[in-house]
């Protein structure tokens, strides 16, 4: 569908994302799914164009763009490969969380690495017993000396086992939302391990696995926001998801647009009983309904 009137800056954002998606994602998407290939190299190329830290501050390497720019970027990327676009949206969410809630040291240490995708990030909230009810999570972070010891597991984590850094919500206090804090946990941390790849129907070029903390020790500086961040993890997680919902909605629109374009082309080209399929009234009405619903 055509965009509303865009100014030159808006068009540059859209056209950059569109060109990248058509050249670097679309030709390979089906093969990546078939071979379960996680396109880290191509995502790093997207990062070089500013797509890994879209609405993150430019003083630490982010693009400094707006949420609406992110929506337009993810819509274009998902027309070529919704799976890779969706993972980039998760990575952007993690980058934004560190930029928004991190200390100056955390921002200067992590955001440039995440903006370039030198450090690929995963978001760790969902647990086997706490999905939609995130305030009921049971992974704990126990204060021990000059650090914290994490115990528990996270389920269905995109990038699990492959990502370089994990933004983890864990319980540092009492039951309920106010007892949750957020931690930056690096891959390779002793006690951090991963479950086998989840069996999925599609989406094979995005690794998904359980993330397991078996007395994984992190320094006190790993708490997002420093000491002032204790007990703020639930709010951080929810604010991250508020933006994430916009991104995933954009990915859904882009995927729907691609499906419509393919259906329209197929029914126009495919002939049966001496005429294109699109000349059959029920098929034509179905295509029209698709266009209407997408708009």
Residue 74: pLDDT above 80?
Answer: yes
Same structural domain for residues 109 and 13? yes
In a domain, 1, yes or no: no
In a domain, 82, yes or no: yes
Same structural domain for residues 35 and 106? yes
Phi-psi region of 198 (alpha: psi -120 to 50; beta: other; left: phi over 0): beta
Residue 199: pLDDT above 80?
Answer: yes
Same structural domain for residues 94 and 230? no
Calculate mean pLDDT across residues 242-267. 96
Calculate mean pLDDT across residues 155-168. 97
Q: What is the CATH number of the domain that holds 18?
A: 1.10.540.10
pLDDT in the model for residue 202: 92
pLDDT in the model for residue 3: 58
Structural domains of the chain, count: 3
pLDDT in the model for residue 136: 87
Same structural domain for residues 111 and 246? yes
pLDDT in the model for residue 4: 67
Q: What is the CATH number of the domain that holds 230?
A: 2.40.110.10
Structure confidence at residue 134 as a pLDDT band (50, 70, 90): confident
Same structural domain for residues 127 and 233? yes
pLDDT in the model for residue 130: 76
In a domain, 3, yes or no: no
Structure confidence at residue 2 as a pLDDT band (50, 70, 90): low
Number of Cβ within 10 Å of residue 263's Cβ equals 17
Higher pLDDT, 159 or 136: 159
Is 107 exposed, middle or buried (CB count within 10 Å of its CB: 0-12, 13-18, 19+)?
buried
pLDDT in the model for residue 56: 97
Structure confidence at residue 135 as a pLDDT band (50, 70, 90): confident
pLDDT in the model for residue 133: 80
Same structural domain for residues 214 and 269? no
In a domain, 260, yes or no: yes
CA separation, residue 18 to residues 98, 125, 130, 168, 233 (Å)? 28, 31, 37, 32, 35
- Per-position DSSP letters for 159-194, written without gaps between them: TTTT-SEEEEEEE-SSSSGGGEEEEEEETT-TTEEE
Same structural domain for residues 169 and 87? no
Same structural domain for residues 287 and 222? no
User: What percent of the chain has pLDDT above 70?
Assistant: 98
Same structural domain for residues 42 and 56? yes
pLDDT in the model for residue 138: 94
pLDDT in the model for residue 146: 93
Same structural domain for residues 162 and 210? yes
Calculate mean pLDDT across residues 135-161. 95
In a domain, 2, yes or no: no
DSSP H helices in the chain:
8-20, 29-35, 40-48, 67-80, 82-101, 104-115, 233-269, 281-294
Residue 181: pLDDT above 90?
Answer: yes
Q: Tell me the residue range of the domain where 144 lies.
A: 121-238
Same structural domain for residues 111 and 73? yes
Alpha-carbon distance 235 to 134, whole Å? 11
Structure confidence at residue 1 as a pLDDT band (50, 70, 90): low
Residue 280: pLDDT above 60?
Answer: yes
Same structural domain for residues 70 and 90? yes
Calculate mean pLDDT across residues 121-130. 92
pTM of full prediction above 0.85: yes
């Amino acid at each position: 569908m055509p965009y509303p009137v865009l100014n030159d800056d808006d068009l540059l954002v859209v056209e950059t994302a569109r060109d990248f998606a058509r050249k670097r994602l679309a030709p390979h998407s089906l093969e990546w799914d078939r071979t379960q290939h996680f396109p880290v190299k191509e995502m790093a190329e997207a990062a070089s164009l500013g797509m890994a830290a879209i609405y993150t501050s430019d003083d630490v390497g982010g693009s400094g763009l707006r949420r609406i720019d992110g929506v337009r970027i993810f819509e274009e990327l998902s027309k070529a490969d919704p799976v890779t676009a969706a993972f980039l949206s998760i990575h952007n969410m993690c980058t934004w969380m560190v930029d928004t809630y991190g200390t100056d040291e955390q921002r200067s240490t992590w955001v440039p690495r995440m903006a370039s995708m030198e450090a690929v990030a995963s978001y760790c909230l969902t647990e086997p017993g706490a999905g939609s009810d995130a305030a009921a999570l049971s992974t704990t972070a126990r204060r021990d000396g000059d650090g914290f010891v994490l115990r528990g597991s996270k389920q269905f984590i995109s990038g699990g086992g492959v990502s370089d850094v994990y933004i983890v919500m864990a319980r540092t206090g009492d039951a309920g939302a106010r007892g949750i804090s957020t931690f930056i946990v690096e891959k390779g941390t002793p006690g951090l391990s991963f479950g086998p790849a989840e069996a999925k129907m599609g989406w094979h070029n995005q690794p998904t696995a359980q993330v397991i903390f078996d007395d994984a020790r992190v320094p006190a500086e790993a708490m997002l926001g420093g000491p002032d961040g204790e007990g703020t993890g639930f709010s951080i997680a929810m604010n991250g998801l508020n933006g994430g919902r916009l991104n995933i909605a954009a990915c859904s629109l882009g995927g729907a647009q691609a499906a419509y374009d393919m259906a329209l082309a197929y029914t126009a080209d495919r002939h049966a009983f001496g005429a294109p399929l699109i000349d059959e009234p029920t098929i034509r009405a179905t295509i029209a309904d698709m266009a209407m619903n997408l708009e």
